[in-house]
Chain A
Amino acid sequence: MTASTPEPLLALSEVNTFYGQAQVHFDLSITVARGHIVCLLGGNASGKSTTMKIILGLVKPRSGDVTFDGASLIGLTTPQIVRHGIASVPEARRLFADMSVRENILMGAFVRNDRQAIAQDLDKMLTLFPKLGQRLSQRAGSLSGGEQQMVAMARALMSRPRMIVMDEPTMGLSPLYVDRVLELIRTINQEGVSVFMVEQNASLALEIAHEAYVLQTGKIVLSGSARTLKDDPRIRDAYLGGAEAA
């Protein structure tokens, strides 16, 4: 880290994770600076999604530490972590399919109790995602993939998080929606929310990210500012799972 980067909001330090006998992460260290978009790149089975689960407390690391705003998240339950100010847009969106769009968005504010501000935030979401206005009373499961992604992002924002973690936000979306989603991530970030996103699509992710890490079979093989990584020839080899890292 150079001196110019702001202090880290989220830091994973030397995390080792196991599924039974199999090791998923090897001394994984990642930092997300306050106000930045950080992207974790990697191919299938590189341990990307598990990294997200570690941050959210859905999977416990065997060793290492995860801190958010200076406080350790280790040992906290997922709901407690959410209350610390981390919201998530899960892989494949994971909406509550039989609840209405309105109910889904409001579920995002589950940890809040300020009714009036919640109502205001709902209105704000409808200006940010204007398409959802006509869909509010529709079953969330009946929306298209792109619309569902919008609901998932609105839902995450409703908790007024300091950080959002996103698992493959562009997966399975039409090119039109991919651009829209990336644009929205940038907008969200400009409003002060830090973003940590896991992506397979490196070139897209690097366009909006400040920093990026490349994960390969559980190890960070490359990291740096998005601008430098974009021109790095190794990045293609690495995230496509080319040469085995040492």
Chain B
Amino acid sequence: MSSWLDYTINGLIVGNVYALVAVGLALIFGVSRLINFAQGSIYLVGAYIGWVAVVQLHTPLPLTIIVVAVAAAIVGLIIERFGLRPLQNSVRIAPLLATIGISFVLDQLVMLTFSPNPRALPSQLPDVRFQVGGGTIGPLDLLIAGVGLTSALLLFVFLRYSKLGWAVRATAQDRDAAMQMGVDVNRVNQAVFGIAAALGGVSGMLVGMYYNQIDTAMSLQATLKGVVAEVVGGAGNVPGAVIGSLLLGLVESYGVAVFGTSYRNLFAFLLLVVVLVLRPNGLFASARQAPPEPLTGTFIAPSRPVRIPRWALLAAAVIFAILPLFPVSFYVLQTLINAWLLGMLALSLTLVAGTIGQVSLGHAALLAIGAYTSALLSLTLNVPVGLAIIGGGLMSAALGTLLISPSFRLRGHYVSIATLAIGEIVSLVILNWESVTRGPIGISGIPPLSLFGTDLISPTSIYWFSLAVMVVLALLQGRLLTSHLGRSFRAIRDDDIAARAYGLSLNRYKSLAFIFGGFAAGVSGGIAAHLYSYINHETFNTQQSILALTVVILGGLGNVVGAMLGAVALVGLPEVFRIAAEYRILIYGIVLLLLVRFRPQGLLGTI
């Protein structure tokens, strides 16, 4: 059993690592009001460059650090120049989505180059530990602390005494005014992306050495931790990000000490949600500060939606309905069943993200709640599967809305962060609540789909069942959007202050949207559970949330037909072109990037 001092040292060391990521996020947020979701990918790239340098090129440690910093900075500069600068004048959601797309692409490129298998990253430092008080400290701990402190010092000197540093600070406070002083904001953007990437890359390498292991799953975790630390410290606040990181490291370390390793991330995300709800501007923000997010109006690309005549929709429905009567392969039906399930999730997300403007990055959690509820109802309480699925939908609606409701007062990027955190929390609770969810083992032997006592086992019957459920949900949602309720949703999305001034209760309408959306997603998850017969806490992950978001943007935010079209396109096309599974995520990332750049309103337009 380690001592408390050990946990404190560990917390501070891990906090130092987080700080290297979070400071970069804070710099970028300060200058361009953007949460860079690709930060973790640069951290990943840094770790693998470190591996190449240490294991293949046998570089000495100081040189390794320099190589990683420079290489990562170059990646950062490329991202800024080709991924984000073209989006400067587009809607505010565009760069956020672009960084998500970039992170998919980078992660997959690393995975394809180095394989997903973990690799060892030796630190080259002697494996000794010194006694300090009641705890111990090793050379690597000192290295990490040293790199953290040196970086903080260099950054301080840069921001305070260099001309470019002044430009960075001025741009962060007032971009237009800085331009009028002659500051080239593109150069400022380049500078912060370069610095952020160098710090992030070194951080990834240090973590790899600390655990003597690197793998491609590091990326998302790093982004999440960095975002938590940054938001805790106050978005855009550089010293705040350092303190937030150390705090996060300590909270996690003590949490692990008391409850065990699997609780580490749970504490991180709970801390985030608590800070978001109580002090959305961070722990150190002064009360004077205006809310950092302006109105949501320009967040989503406005457009004139493509009108699809009723007969065409009917014809499409009929064609898909009678498809199984023709000799189509099992494989085609299987693919389309996946598309219908994703379509239900997309319907849910397009309502929440598109119609009422709450861009959720944790939508897979609703799938998980529905899936677990339905599976457990049918397994332990012998509830008929049809009813159990409806139960799953209701539970998702209720629990999902309840979990998100404290975040209703947030806007823009902050909603995305909160939903991302809540998604992670749901997954972690499933992992840790063993008495109900069976923890890491997952639930197996889930009964197959059945309706009124008849099992639906043939692909044809599953196909019809899921298609019918999706169509019913789509019709309901279409009806909802044309009602006054739909108008109220859109009013809140376009200008929540004006909507409130007209007497709309934001909480009530946001709740209604999440209830409806939660039900659709829960039903989708429920059907999936019975279809897969085995689920665990990782079945419904963030990757799926992002996939759903890509589908929704592809179809056009808020667009019901677009959501279904997007699902068919994104699930179907890779199958049609027989693209190998490992390239699919890469394709999704590229699709997202191209969409944001060239058709932000999606195929059918936002509604």
Write the residues of chain A forming the contact surface with B, with a CB cutoff of 8 angstroms: 56, 58, 77-79, 82-83, 87-88, 90, 94-99, 103, 106-108, 110-111, 141, 155, 159
Contacts and interface: CB of A to CB of B under 8 A. Distances in A.
A88 B170 CA distance: 15
A96 to B, nearest CB: 4
A79 B182 contact: yes
Given A77-B184, A79-B184, A107 B170 contact: yes
Interface string B156-189: 0000000100110110011011111111100000
Dominant SS among interface residues on chain B: helix
Contacts of A98: 169, 173
Contacts of A110: 163, 166-167, 170, 181-183
Contacts of A83: 182
Contacts of B180: 56, 58, 78, 82, 87-88, 90, 94
Nearest to A111: B182
Contacts of A95: 174, 177
B176 to A, nearest CB: 7
Contacts of A88: 180
Nearest to A96: B173
Contact of A103 (B166, B176, B184): B166
Given A103-B166, A107-B166, A110-B166, A96 B177 contact: yes
Contacts of B176: 58, 90, 94
10 contacts: A79-B179, A79-B184, A82-B182, A90-B180, A96-B174, A96-B177, A103-B166, A110-B166, A110-B183, A111-B182
A16 to B, nearest CB: 20
A54 to B, nearest CB: 13
Given A77-B179, A82-B180, A94-B176, 5 more contacts: A90-B177, A107-B170, A107-B178, A110-B166, A159-B181
Contacts of B178: 96, 107
Given A58-B176, A90-B176, A94-B176, A108 B170 contact: no
Contacts of A97: 173-174
A56 B170 CA distance: 18
B462 to A, nearest CB: 49
A83 B170 CA distance: 18
Nearest to A98: B173
A98 B30 CA distance: 12
Contacts of B177: 90, 94-96
A83 B183 CA distance: 10
Interface string B269-303: 00000000000000000001000000000000000
A63 to B, nearest CB: 20
A151 to B, nearest CB: 12
Give 8 nearest A-B pairs by CB, closest first.
A111-B182, A82-B182, A94-B177, A78-B179, A96-B173, A88-B180, A79-B182, A110-B181
A99 B169 contact: yes
A195 to B, nearest CB: 16
Contact of A96 (B170, B179, B184, B288): B170
A82 B173 contact: no
A96 B407 CA distance: 31
B110 to A, nearest CB: 36
B297 to A, nearest CB: 14
Contacts of A56: 180
Interface residues of B, number: 17
Contacts of A141: 288
Interface in B492-532: none
Contacts of B181: 82, 107-108, 110-111, 155, 159
Contacts of B288: 141
A146 B478 CA distance: 55
A209 B184 CA distance: 32
B185 to A, nearest CB: 8
Contacts of B170: 96, 99, 107, 110
A244 to B, nearest CB: 29
A101 B166 CA distance: 13
A107 B176 CA distance: 13
Contacts of A107: 166, 170, 178, 181
Nearest to B167: A110
Contacts of A103: 166
Contacts of A77: 179, 184
Nearest to B288: A141
Nearest to A158: B181
Contacts of B167: 110
A79 B183 contact: yes
A188 B590 CA distance: 55
Nearest to A83: B182
A94 B174 contact: yes
Nearest to A57: B179
A78 B188 CA distance: 14
Nearest to B160: A103
Contacts of A159: 181-182
A80 to B, nearest CB: 8
A78 B177 CA distance: 10
A94 B180 CA distance: 10
Nearest to B173: A96
A39 B358 CA distance: 46
A77 B176 CA distance: 12
A114 B392 CA distance: 70
Contacts of B174: 94-97
Interface in B127-183: 163, 166-167, 169-170, 173-174, 176-183
Contacts of B173: 96-99
B293 to A, nearest CB: 18
A95 B173 CA distance: 9
The interface centre, meaning the residue of B166, B169, B173 with most chain A CB atoms within 10 A of its CB, is B173
The interface centre, meaning the residue of B169, B174, B176, B182 with most chain A CB atoms within 10 A of its CB, is B182
B189 to A, nearest CB: 13
Contacts of B166: 99, 103, 106-107, 110
The interface centre, meaning the residue of B169, B180, B183, B184 with most chain A CB atoms within 10 A of its CB, is B180
B183 A96 contact: no
B182 A58 contact: no
A150 to B, nearest CB: 16
A196 to B, nearest CB: 14
Contacts of B184: 77, 79
Interface in B458-484: none
The interface centre, meaning the residue of B170, B173, B179, B181 with most chain A CB atoms within 10 A of its CB, is B181
Contacts of A111: 181-182
A105 B179 CA distance: 15
B557 to A, nearest CB: 21
Contacts of A79: 179, 182-184
Nearest to A152: B177
Nearest to A159: B182
Nearest to A142: B288
A96 B182 contact: no
Interface in B175-229: 176-184
B177 to A, nearest CB: 4
Contacts of A58: 176, 179-180
A96 B179 CA distance: 12
A82 B182 CA distance: 5
Nearest to B180: A88
Contacts of A96: 169-170, 173-174, 177-178
The interface centre, meaning the residue of A56, A78, A87 with most chain B CB atoms within 10 A of its CB, is A78
A64 to B, nearest CB: 21
A20 B167 CA distance: 31
A183 B288 CA distance: 33
A82 to B, nearest CB: 4
